[in-house]
Structure 1
Amino acid sequence: MILAVLFANSVGNVLIERFNGVPVEERLHWRCFLVKLGAENLIGVKNEKLLVACHKSVYIVYTVLGDVSIFLVGKDEYGELALAEAFFIITAAVKDVCGKPPTERLFLDKYGRICLCLDEIVWKGLVENTDKDRIKRLIRLKPPTEY
């Protein structure tokens, strides 16, 4: 299960977070932990170079995309390799929506469409859609005309 998807800016403010199966009382701990992990390890990292960590029997894959840090937390069948695959889909969708690796301003301008992409990619902790073209069609918010 993918426990968390979190986007943060360069100073550690959370831009988007999605938790699945994480109790409300543990979410603050995870937020703080992920932001601190990024602050310590993402300085000078190239765009989309994946870093991996393990904490409390879960895997964390994280990187920088433009001015935004992205974190994925998974357990069980979502180990580091499965999270890396999900990561490539998420980063490709964000770059498609923004047109390039996003600045914080561009990311916030495209916030709604990025949230729609995340909802189509990760649903209730499982990766649901991995096809970029299908995700583009699903986030158009138009009724489907062809099946």
Structure 2
Amino acid sequence: MLLAVLIANSEGNILVERFNGVPVEERSHWRSFLVKLGAENLIGVKNEELLVACHKSVYITYTVFGDVSVYVVGKDEYDELALAEVIFVITSALKDVCGKPPTERLFLDKYGKICLCLDEIVWKGLLDNTDKDRIKRLVRLKPPTEF
């Protein structure tokens, strides 16, 4: 299960978060842990270079993309390889929505569409859509033509 998808700015402020199956009382722990992890390790990392960590029997894959950091937390079948695919789909969707690696300003300007993309990619803790063209069609809120 995908436990969390977080996107933060370079100062560590959370811009978007999606938790699945994480109790409310543990969410602040995860927020602070992930931001601290990124602050310690993402300095000097190239765009889309993946880093992996393990904490409390879950896997964490994270990267920097433009001015934002993307964190994905998973357990069980979502090991570091599956999380790498999730991050790849998320960064591809961000590229499509923003047209380039996003600055914080551009990210916030496209916030609504980015949230729609995240909802299409991850649904109830599972990776739902990986096809870039299908995600684009679904975000336009038009019904898919093929089944």
TM above 0.5: yes
SS class of match (1:46): coil
Q: Distance in 2 between matches of 1:42 and 1:79?
A: 20
Structure-2 residue corresponding to 1:121: 121
CA 1:61–1:145 in structure 2 vs 1: closer, same or farther (change >3 Å)? Answer: closer
Given that residues 98 and 107 in structure 2 are in contact (C-alpha distance below 8 angstroms), is that contact kept between their aligned partners in structure 1?
yes
Structure-1 residue corresponding to 2:42: 42
Q: Distance in 2 between matches of 1:5 and 1:145?
A: 25
Q: Distance in 2 between matches of 1:109 and 1:56?
A: 35
CA 1:145–1:10 in structure 2 vs 1: closer, same or farther (change >3 Å)? Answer: closer
Q: Distance in 1 between matches of 2:145 and 2:40?
A: 48
Q: Distance in 1 between matches of 2:41 and 2:117?
A: 27
Offset of residue 146 of structure 1 = 2.6
Residue deviations 1:84-121, cap 9 Å, x none? Answer: 01110110001100000000000000000000000000
Q: Which amino acid aligns with 2:106?
A: L
Q: Distance in 2 between matches of 1:70 and 1:145?
A: 28
Q: Distance in 2 between matches of 1:11 and 1:119?
A: 25
SS class of match (2:3): strand
Q: Distance in 2 between matches of 1:69 and 1:88?
A: 13
CA 1:146–1:13 in structure 2 vs 1: closer, same or farther (change >3 Å)? Answer: same
Structure-2 residue corresponding to 1:83: 83
Report sequence identity in percent.
82
Give the ranges of 4+ consecutive aligned residues of structure 1 lying more than 3 Å apart after TM superposition. Answer: none
Q: Does 1:63 align with 2:66?
A: no
Residue deviations 1:45-97, cap 9 Å, x none? Answer: 00000000000000000010000000000000000000001110110001100
Q: Following superposition of structure 1 onto structure 2, how do residues 22-41 of structure 1 map, counting pairs within 5 Å?
A: 22-41=22-41
TM-score by length of 1: 0.98
CA 1:35–1:145 in structure 2 vs 1: closer, same or farther (change >3 Å)? Answer: closer
Structure-2 residue corresponding to 1:108: 108
Q: Please, which runs of 5 or more residues in structure 2 have no aligned partner? A: none
Q: Distance in 1 between matches of 2:138 and 2:53?
A: 32
Structure-2 residue corresponding to 1:11: 11
How many residues of Structure 1 are paired with residues of Structure 2 in the alignment?
146
Q: Distance in 2 between matches of 1:99 and 1:61?
A: 24
Q: Please, which runs of 5 or more residues in structure 1 have no aligned partner? A: none
